[in-house]
Structure 1
């Protein structure tokens, strides 16, 4: 049997909980059924925990009515219908749909007004009344971006006209002295190359202060391999100066991948280096420079040594220098040395143009008895012009570049060394790719790579060499010779996580060899995957290549494994 004292506690607790959890209800009516429907369309909150919440909700209803044009509405005091219900009564009166805003001619440019209204006249413009708040905020932001960050706007002398129309005067309060960037202070990565501020971001002292534009520009820092933006830029205003603070950090921008093998040549007993080495060094001198070293020795006794040095923004100008040395040796047939020197101009963070000189020199290593007309000593000089477009997607660690387009045109002459022969030649190259992001996990990658050599006569040691992981997959490296070719690489990519993906491989190629007078179509199929580990990005590709009229053979499958380490 429950004692009376405990029974009293239970009843008291239940009643207290009921009182504590009691809800209050708000009902809002208009002066007519139409006005009530208009108020209901505001989707106001009808259930509340206390009376203060009800008063705040009625205030928000009033503000919403002002915004949509009922500026003359009236509210009767809130009445209590019963213990849990309160009633608010509005009389909306007339709704104003249009407002004529008059302005001083020198206070605001008509270019800004044309962005917000189709009806702009010499001293006034017309907008919908419901857009008044957003229009004033837009105008204020534009004026602030012109170097007047402390400007204020208000409407004065508001009058009601017939036909649901208002008139008002636009008053702009701002300092007459515009703000310019006095100095730029970098925190975190103090040795960040200043030339990138001026030429890459186009931010420099004495520039008109525009914080929204500055934030948009500094987002491009994440597209750089060697620097990241830690947080949004900040500004310190003083009486006579405007200091811009950028918060940056130096990122790992060097990479290495490849494998090396050592062996002794059975014929010469000399030590030979086989394998693959790809080293990229970026911004180690805090200049933004890039150095690339590539060494490749494959199963066809072909050796490639390639170095490339890029020096951006020489003397803090938008002009940079690109230097390249490439040496290719094919068994005991010939060697080719490619030297180029180009100047590039960085138009902005995505676009770049090039102009320079390209020299090719090839030597026939065959004996006189086996020398043919297809391999010969020659020297070619070109004038080179190029354009490059790169769009990053730095948020994706597996595929940081979304799209790229590179076009190069070379015009020059080839001279045979041992005979008096000069031949005009031209070369054209296109290398472009695009990643189509279907959603966060699925994407399609398409690359187009094409080159052509235009000449009256051709030599074997000047033809393009294709085949391998960077051209048509499923074929041996540099095993195909072409005077012109076109390759389409495509992949369907599925990102299982932020660090793992799998992909299909579908490659199609067409090439011509005018020395042999042959034309072929090539196909490559396979699959691959990539894993982002602590050591770097591990890639695996398994592809089979075949000619157009050739059957698939499992023995033709090629496997390529690589790991790229950032440091």
Structure 2
């Protein structure tokens, strides 16, 4: 054969092959009657296909769909080729099963399913869902290896009668939680003891396993390498968690620049928090703050949880506040807390404050000593995911009763102190959320002195005002933000702060209100959380002046 003929044959072959590849096939499924064909058409099967293999796959899928809705005795016939592009499949649907009546002979199962009698009627398409839900319900009650199936099935036209056969085996309870790998020696023994105490003899199921997973995710100083695993033997049920130590220490600080009446001022603070550095679950905080008006604050605190592997912890604080050359307050606190099982704790404590007047230029400032016995409650619900910027929910309440003795008086005055803090983070969706921080304070006393009042205002309080520039014996502040997440590591937000407070000067009480408005953003970097905000504030009926705005910078660094 000459080369020209070979090339011609190759060209013809390529054209035919291209035509074959471009050809489209059509599937037609018909029933044993016109009525069955209408039912088949209502099931919306795919009619156009690129090849015969696709047709066979879709026929199989159609038969499964028909079986699922109750056509359990479908008869099929050979796939016929009507012409070059059309294939026809004939089937006989038969009578459809519409519902099934189950008999449940086991009284315990009847109780678990919350049934009033030993029979239940179920639409046939829902039987698979019912069996899955039944197994999940049995698992929730400790029967983790339960099985459910139907037996003694009898057909009566469009109805099935069957008996629910359940193999529950025995219930399992958690015996111990074990930390695997080398991180066991670095995990606080007190934490592990309390977690084991919380879950020991609890029914073992998927729900309790998820609760254990969440329990360890709430700890700031560890990461879980994988989801908890379990080992079930004849006598014991063990849960294994795989942990690695995480650097949960933080360094937080910000610098604020303000322009008030053509005066440039600089303020800032330093906040260092150390956690589990000696593998005891301890928390150490060192805090220092200085604003542009000669106010200085120093605070050091130490918290030790689970003393002697018990639910009891201890906390001690030292706080020093100095107002320029006017006065200095030194406050010491000692408290005990008892950790409850629901991520909350109750507290009891004692605190004492000594105030010394350095230079008295205000008749309402005088030296004093006070002491309070306090009780409190705290609850926190943290986000259990990466790159979260705030707790989901936090509630902290403190009630104190005590006495205060002023230098110019010989008899102490009884006082009551109440402080309530709330944080609520509402997620609308993955992009939009609202963050609300509410802080309430009240000091009850016959008379007040300026240097004992609650001080607020600033970046972590009402924004748009200088740090600690406001004082009151009663205050209620709402710190709100609308947040929009551009990515999972960057969000922008509005600032809308509102506060009501009462002051008392020379026994004259005055009601005040203030607002702070502005914009800001937060960015989760490799090393921590960067926040920048610009806000302006106004007191009572004053107009918000943007030229008096305060720029706040904060960078919370993890190390």
Give the structure-1-normalised TM-score.
Answer: 0.85
3-state secondary structure, aligned to 1:44: coil
Q: How many residue pairs were aligned?
A: 544
**Alpha carbons 1:491, 1:505 under 8 Å: kept:** yes
3-state secondary structure, aligned to 2:372: strand
C-alpha displacement of 1:461: 1.9
**Alpha carbons 1:353, 1:386 under 8 Å: kept:** yes
3-state secondary structure, aligned to 2:416: strand
**Alpha carbons 1:384, 1:411 under 8 Å: kept:** no
**Cα distance in 2, alignment partners of residues 432 and 355 from structure 1:** 17
**Cα distance in 2, alignment partners of residues 168 and 189 from structure 1:** 53
**Cα distance in 2, alignment partners of residues 363 and 373 from structure 1:** 13
Of 510, 513, 519 in structure 2, the residue corresponding to residue 527 of structure 1 is 519
Does residue 16 of structure 1 match 2:11?
A: no
C-alpha displacement of 1:372: 4.1
Task: Indicate the residue corresponding to 1:511 in structure 2.
Answer: 501
Does residue 156 of structure 1 match 2:151?
A: yes
**Cα distance in 2, alignment partners of residues 438 and 447 from structure 1:** 17
Of 483, 489, 506 in structure 1, the residue corresponding to residue 479 of structure 2 is 489
Does residue 541 of structure 1 match 2:533?
A: yes
**Cα distance in 2, alignment partners of residues 421 and 34 from structure 1:** 100
Task: Indicate the residue corresponding to 2:258 in structure 1.
Answer: none
Does residue 325 of structure 1 match 2:318?
A: yes
Does residue 337 of structure 1 match 2:330?
A: yes
Provide, for residues 409-467 of structure 1, a one-character-per-residue CA deviation record: whole Å limited to 9, x for no partner.
22333344663323222222222233333443343333222211122221222111122
**Alpha carbons 1:446, 1:491 under 8 Å: kept:** yes
Does residue 234 of structure 1 match 2:225?
A: no
C-alpha displacement of 1:183: 5.4
Give the structure-2-normalised TM-score.
Answer: 0.86
3-state secondary structure, aligned to 2:334: strand
The 1:408/1:186 distance shift into structure 2, 3 A limit, reads same
Does residue 566 of structure 1 match 2:555?
A: no
C-alpha displacement of 1:553: 4.6
5+ residue gaps, structure 2: 256-266
Task: Indicate the residue corresponding to 1:264 in structure 2.
Answer: none
Q: Which one scores higher on RCO, CA 8 angstroms, separation ≥ 6?
A: 2
Provide, for residues 522-550 of structure 1, a one-character-per-residue CA deviation record: whole Å limited to 9, x for no partner.
22233333333444333222222222233
The 1:329/1:179 distance shift into structure 2, 3 A limit, reads closer
3-state secondary structure, aligned to 1:45: coil
**Cα distance in 1, alignment partners of residues 197 and 18 from structure 2:** 64
CA RMSD in angstroms, aligned pairs only: 3.2
Does residue 383 of structure 1 match 2:374?
A: yes
3-state secondary structure, aligned to 1:401: coil
**Cα distance in 2, alignment partners of residues 335 and 145 from structure 1:** 59
The 1:254/1:565 distance shift into structure 2, 3 A limit, reads same
3-state secondary structure, aligned to 1:496: strand
5+ residue gaps, structure 1: 115-119, 261-273
The 1:43/1:321 distance shift into structure 2, 3 A limit, reads farther
**Cα distance in 2, alignment partners of residues 470 and 336 from structure 1:** 21
The 1:306/1:242 distance shift into structure 2, 3 A limit, reads same
Does residue 359 of structure 1 match 2:351?
A: yes
Of 297, 301, 314 in structure 1, the residue corresponding to residue 294 of structure 2 is 301
Task: Indicate the residue corresponding to 2:468 in structure 1.
Answer: 478
The 1:98/1:345 distance shift into structure 2, 3 A limit, reads farther
C-alpha displacement of 1:145: 4.1
**Alpha carbons 2:31, 2:37 under 8 Å: kept:** yes
Alignment of 1:447-466 (within 5 A): 447-466=437-456
Task: Indicate the residue corresponding to 1:189 in structure 2.
Answer: 183
Task: Indicate the residue corresponding to 1:76 in structure 2.
Answer: 77
The 1:52/1:188 distance shift into structure 2, 3 A limit, reads farther
C-alpha displacement of 1:255: 0.6
Does residue 136 of structure 1 match 2:131?
A: yes
Of 157, 160, 164 in structure 2, the residue corresponding to residue 170 of structure 1 is 164
Task: Indicate the residue corresponding to 2:209 in structure 1.
Answer: 214
Provide, for residues 186-210 of structure 1, a one-character-per-residue CA deviation record: whole Å limited to 9, x for no partner.
2463333354456458764554431
**Cα distance in 1, alignment partners of residues 289 and 191 from structure 2:** 33
Task: Indicate the residue corresponding to 1:314 in structure 2.
Answer: 307
**Cα distance in 1, alignment partners of residues 28 and 399 from structure 2:** 75
**Cα distance in 2, alignment partners of residues 176 and 439 from structure 1:** 42
C-alpha displacement of 1:156: 0.7
C-alpha displacement of 1:483: 1.0
